[in-house]
A and B are shown apart, each in its own frame.
Chain A
């Protein structure tokens, strides 16, 4: 069978992911940025490792030592998740690690709520949905996990959501932004319908759309549309809105890549 020599192979292709790999292992990189507090450290580490039982154990130890359960959400769980998100953004860890960490974080938040009875404060509410007629929701599930991991309260409307239902949820929740995902060109037309219904009702919030066959040109056609190419763009857009960039044109300028 034909084959390359080592030298000839290099003239045909380059595995840039190998060539550019970071020197630190994910564990080493995480270790460098964990909080040093002896009660918080094990919780943050357990979040990074996605170990739900260890998260609960760490939270219990911190509560026993006098920490306020609700304060632990921000001071321990979100700090641990911050380590995960930072390393994901830097390309040190991959999405499944984030998903497992997010599962552990959500379990931790529930535990804190149970032990306090109070409701935690979030960075803000975001409504997420999959376009009407579309039942493919893995993209939406990634978006909601990343938003929650970044401290947002997510109202997940699920898949195949009628425009009227999206409008009703937006009116009720008054979110920072709305997200819509679709796999197919034939269902992404529902985004325009949602956009029009929002405008008819005087609601002007950023409507971040992405997924499958959705593209920037299409999303730019409707007034509130902002294209999110990657699921990881969603929390970045939300952060920008929270920081005061609410104008659709400005958000497009900042986040449209093409």
Chain B
């Protein structure tokens, strides 16, 4: 199936968007309807490293994790929860391991659902195992194992299928450390989108076949790499005005999943998901202040503004004073959701949305662009040339520059360094051609010679 490109917005205005409500809700798992008027905590966890020693140990670890979360949810009276299992490499490289974990988790969730009526679903995020020691191998031998992992997990109990796919990363890693805007566009906007279409067409077919949900991707490998390298306000590794460009460009790339059959909820660490919700109307998971167990960010409240599921990104399973980590973070997430759901029930949702948004709006250019009104504008720039993966990525980048410049003329303070990096990026964007073929040819020549691990055949080029 060819991707069905978005050329218009799902919402007539940014103000129509809020948390807990999506234009196209998704039914999943045991009684859940996502984006149907309430928000849902989505708990994500990692096994202790030593648990990976054998399949039996790993399955047992996930049984403990699942029981702990479900037990805490009912102990504190929360009505719904999603569990997200991000595969450790053993589970995707050996699909039967992933399947056994999914089955063990779902069995426990069913027990709690049957006993207490708690609504729940299980997301499995398959590891993108398509590379070997030297090169990415996106279309090589490992692709079939990768797809098998999805199918086996879906058959064994996973309700929502996701991945953090890595197409374009070999170029991105090179470009981001050199302020190379054209390279970022090529990596995320073009190569990433090409790979996404192949991957998500196949995942969506598996979802159809197994009666599960093709849920969505995140540009973790690239936009989050930029965000993490950018770090906090005092870190000196990357201008935040460049990091936000990577984010803007990641939106048309992650959008491809939904153009290839995915229906949401988009995966938690996709900070671009607010842009994607504006375009698709599909439910989205986001993470922020309650994912500090995994990483810091500069928009912890703001990014909750339009979420449908609210995640903690990941936490290693071990003990804390308040219980195990998954119990503590699940409870925090669920209380956040209880507040959002109260706002929805009392018709104060837009007030809370705006408070969350405003508290971080001027904290950083990354937050400013992802404020829902500005995110909507990036979405409009994308769908304007929705049929052309290069032009729409370039549009997103240009609009992102415009938004930050406008913000800087008002209350968004930028350092001189951020201002200069933005000006350089703008000049680089202005110098790019409008013709996709020319851009692709130029980049192919340049990066084939500069990035030794770049194999064009990974993208059918």
Contact = CB atoms under 8 A, between A and B. Distances in A.
Contacts of B411: 3-4, 6, 9
A25 interface: yes
Contact of A18 (B90, B132, B414): B414
Interface SS of chain A:
loop
Given A21-B417, A100-B178, A188 B49 contact: yes
Contacts, number: 106
Contacts of B126: none
B133 interface: yes
A103 B177 CA distance: 11
Given A2-B354, A188-B49, A93 B236 contact: yes
Contacts of A138: 173, 177, 225, 229
Contact of A189 (B49, B234, B236, B238): B49
A186 B233 contact: no
B417 A142 contact: no
A118 interface: no
Nearest to A186: B88
A195 interface: no
B385 interface: no
Interface in B151-178: 173, 176-178
Contacts of A145: 177
Interface in A195-252: 213
A155 interface: no
Contacts of B242: 96
Interface residues of B, number: 46
B236 A95 contact: yes
A13 B384 CA distance: 35
A213 B316 contact: yes
Residue among A135, A141, A186 with most chain B CB within 10 A:
A186
Contact of A9 (B229, B357, B362): B362
Interface residues of A, number: 43
A175 interface: no
B415 interface: yes
Interface string B25-51: 000000000000000000000111110
A9 to B, nearest CB: 6
Given A95-B237, A138-B173, A189 B413 contact: no
B179 interface: yes
Contacts of A185: 46, 48-49, 316
A13 B362 contact: yes
A17 B26 CA distance: 42
B12 interface: no
Contact of B415 (A1, A3, A15, A142): A15
Contacts of A26: 417
Interface in B222-261: 225, 229, 233-234, 236-239, 242
A25 B415 CA distance: 11
Contacts of B233: 15-17
A133 interface: yes
A162 to B, nearest CB: 9
B362 A4 contact: yes
B79 interface: no
Contacts of B417: 17, 21, 26, 94
17 contacts: A1-B15, A13-B360, A13-B363, A16-B233, A21-B416, A95-B177, A95-B238, A96-B176, A96-B238, A103-B178, A138-B229, A145-B177, A159-B133, A186-B89, A188-B49, A189-B50, A213-B316
Interface of B: 15, 46-50, 52, 88-90, 131-134, 173, 176-179, 225, 229, 233-234, 236-239, 242, 316, 354-355, 357-360, 362-364, 373, 411, 413-418
What 7 pairs between A and B have smallest CB-CB spacing?
A95-B237, A17-B233, A96-B179, A99-B177, A2-B354, A160-B133, A18-B413
Given A3-B411, A13-B362, 8 more contacts: A17-B233, A17-B417, A94-B239, A95-B237, A99-B178, A184-B89, A186-B46, A186-B52
